[in-house]
């Protein structure tokens, strides 16, 4: 078999896998669609036009007949492959990522199975194109399948880190606004509501969630504790601990907030200085391996060509 045929087969396999993934992602709907279909089926049985017979299976959309059952099988297979502790870790990672729209544990498990299959196909296709032996093809497929299996975990971790960075950046300003509102005479709950309404971002959403939990009957300490457990930002956990201690020991909240706001501003300044000091080290390797070689080629290249011509013409 020629290399052209192997390349075409590998590309076709990758295209088919990508099409299956896109079709699966586009076919995932909310559970309310299942309820509506059930109600529609009941109405069809009860209506005179329905004839009391079973609806034609081919009248249902392709996504309901093929894609959705396949997705359920992928979820079951993903749960079989994934240990319980890793499922809990994925759930915690989704909480830290703020619960992205449409993402849940089952969807992540289905993605893990899909990316595992895509990784195996890509690895096998590349090994076939390069003319590898069967052992090399299997080894490449296994390695790329393992990498593909952890791609959804990396995506969730990236979303969680980006959200944590946004929380860390917005916390000092929110604490300043919270301190001003409390010192103006508002209670802590009302001040928290004002901050949540007048700010945007994940921190405002977390404050809204704390207020909702308190309205549902949860105590202030428990709601704040849940806020600290949902994030892995040390500054936010420090703020939660200080508020819980102030609530337990009867310390004036305005004074605690003033101290916390000052510490958060200092911490943000220190973090900015720390990142600025890391810039020379981070830029060293691109400078040595990317900028300097190009500069040497531009500066020394013409002279090297002239010297080579001089030695050749002698």
Q: Are residues 141 and 14 in the same domain?
A: yes
The verdict on 201 and 131 lying in the same domain is no
The pLDDT assigned to 52 comes to: 45
- Give the percent of the chain with pLDDT over 70: 76
The answer to whether residue 28 is domain-embedded is yes
Tell me, yes or no, whether 92 and 183 share the same domain: no
Q: Is residue 299 part of a domain?
A: no
**Could you tell me the pLDDT band of residue 183, with boundaries at 50, 70 and 90?**
confident
Within a domain: residue 22? yes
Identify whether residues 128 and 180 lie together within a single domain: no
134 and 70 inside one domain: yes
Report pLDDT digits (tens) over 260-295: 888 888 888 888 888 888 888 888 888 888 888 888
Please, which pLDDT band fits residue 17 given cuts at 50, 70 and 90?
low
Residues 143 and 11 in one domain: yes
pLDDT above 50 for 150: yes
| Residue at 279 is within a domain | no
Same domain, 106 and 57: yes
Domain presence at residue 298: no
Per-residue pLDDT, 50: 44
Structurally, how many domains does the chain consist of?
Answer: 2
pLDDT tens digits for 83-93?
A: 777 788 888 88
The sign of the dihedral angle between the CA atoms of 96, 98, 100, 104 is positive
In the numeric block, which tokens belong to residue 222?
A: 């428990």
What are the tens digits of pLDDT across the range 245-259?
888 888 888 888 888
Instruction: Tell me, yes or no, whether 262 and 230 share the same domain.
Output: yes
Confidence of residue 53 (pLDDT cuts 50, 70, 90): very low
Q: Which residues of 267-294 are buried (b: 16+ CB within 10 A; e: fewer)?
A: bbeeeeeeeeeeeeeeeeeeeeeeeeee
114 and 145, same domain (yes or no): yes
> Is there a single domain that holds both residue 105 and residue 225?
no
Q: What is the pLDDT of residues 54-104, one digit of tens each?
A: 455 555 665 565 566 666 777 777 777 777 777 888 888 888 887 777 677
Same domain, 106 and 183: no
285 is a domain residue:
no
Same domain, 64 and 191: no
Q: Which residue has the tokens 């490449």?
A: 140
Q: Give residue 61's pLDDT.
A: 61
Residue 261 lies in a domain: yes
pLDDT for 176 beyond 60 = yes
Domain end (from 82, 117, 149): 149
Domain that holds residue 126: 3-149
3-state SS, 184-214, equals CCCCHHHHHHHHHHHCCCHHHHHHHHHHHHH
Assign 34 a pLDDT band (cuts: 50, 70, 90).
low
């Amino acid at each position: 078999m020629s290399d052209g045929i192997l390349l075409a087969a590998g590309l076709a396999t990758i295209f088919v896998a990508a099409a299956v993934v896109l079709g699966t992602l586009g076919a995932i709907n909310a559970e309310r669609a299942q309820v509506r279909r059930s109600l529609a089926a009941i109405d069809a049985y009860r209506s005179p036009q329905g004839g009391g017979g079973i609806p034609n299976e081919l009248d249902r959309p392709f996504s309901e007949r093929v894609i959705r059952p396949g997705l359920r099988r992928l979820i079951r297979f993903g749960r079989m492959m994934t240990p319980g502790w890793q499922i809990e870790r994925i759930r915690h990672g989704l909480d830290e990522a703020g619960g992205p729209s449409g993402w849940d544990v089952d969807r992540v498990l289905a993605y893990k199975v899909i990316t595992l299959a895509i990784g195996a196909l890509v690895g096998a296709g590349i090994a076939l194109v390069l003319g590898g032996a069967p052992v090399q093809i299997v080894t490449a497929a296994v390695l790329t399948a393992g990498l593909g299996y952890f791609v959804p975990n990396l995506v969730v971790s990236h979303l969680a880190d980006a959200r944590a960075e946004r929380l860390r950046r917005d916390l000092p300003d929110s604490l300043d606004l919270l301190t001003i509102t409390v010192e103006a005479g508002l209670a802590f709950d009302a001040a928290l509501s004002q901050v949540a309404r007048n700010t945007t971002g994940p921190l405002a959403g977390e404050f809204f969630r704390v207020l909702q939990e308190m309205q549902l009957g949860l105590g202030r300490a428990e709601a704040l504790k849940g806020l600290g457990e949902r994030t892995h930002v040390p500054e936010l956990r420090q703020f939660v601990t200080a508020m819980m201690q102030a609530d337990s020991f009867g310390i004036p909240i305005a004074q605690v907030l003033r101290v916390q706001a000052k510490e958060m501003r200092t911490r943000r300044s220190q973090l900015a200085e720390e990142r600025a000091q890391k810039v020379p080290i981070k830029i060293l390797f691109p400078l040595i391996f990317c900028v300097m070689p190009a500069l040497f080629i531009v500066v020394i290249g013409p002279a090297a060509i002239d010297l080579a011509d001089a030695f050749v013409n002698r």
